[in-house]
């Protein structure tokens, strides 16, 4: 399957995640909710690794890739902890659009850190995403 099928699947799953998390975090400490979610993701991801036979490659993950995967894990943890706390404090319809500012930030970081080219269409789209996210703040 092409990459965009997975990207759309990710977007759909993220949308459902916001709603399920908002319901699930009700009456539960946000850090505990994040830990439960993380445990489920951990079991789910390792299950897929074993079913696909990819666990044999574990020994080859070291050095720079391991460092950056670990740092990515820390960033994910910070993101999830903050996201669940925000969901406890505000409606999902307000939290999710602000959380999705990560799209525009990713485009900027990809250009600065990875040297990816940003076309005018991508820049315009990112700008519109930021404007749209900020408009949700006013309700």
Q: Which pLDDT tens digit goes with each residue over 89-124?
A: 999 988 988 998 999 999 999 999 999 999 999 999
Per-domain boundaries in the chain:
3-90, 100-139
How do residues 62-78 score in pLDDT, each as one tens digit? Answer: 999 899 999 999 999 99
Whole-prediction pTM: 0.82
Secondary structure (H, E, C), the chain:
CCHHHHHHHHHHHHHHHHHHHHHHCCCCCHHHHHHHHHHHHHHHHHHHHHHCCHHHHHHHCCCHHHHHHHHHHHHHHHHHHHHHHHHHHCCHHHHHHHHCHHHHHHHHHHHHHHCCCCCHHHHHHHHHHHHHHHHHHHC
Q: What is the mean pLDDT of the segment spanning 11-26?
A: 90
């Amino acid at each position: 399957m092409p990459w965009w099928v997975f990207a759309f699947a990710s977007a759909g799953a993220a949308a459902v995640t916001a709603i399920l998390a908002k319901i699930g975090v009700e009456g539960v400490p946000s850090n505990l909710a994040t830990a439960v979610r993380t445990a489920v993701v951990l079991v789910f991801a390792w299950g897929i690794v074993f079913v696909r036979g990819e666990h044999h490659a574990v020994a080859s993950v070291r050095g720079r890739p391991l460092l950056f995967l670990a740092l990515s894990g820390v960033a994910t943890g910070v993101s999830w902890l903050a996201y669940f706390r925000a969901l406890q404090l505000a409606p999902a319809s307000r939290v999710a659009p602000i959380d999705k500012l990560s799209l525009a930030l990713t485009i900027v970081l990809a250009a600065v850190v990875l040297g990816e080219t940003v076309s005018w269409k991508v820049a315009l789209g990112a700008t519109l995403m930021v404007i749209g996210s900020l408009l949700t703040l006013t309700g």
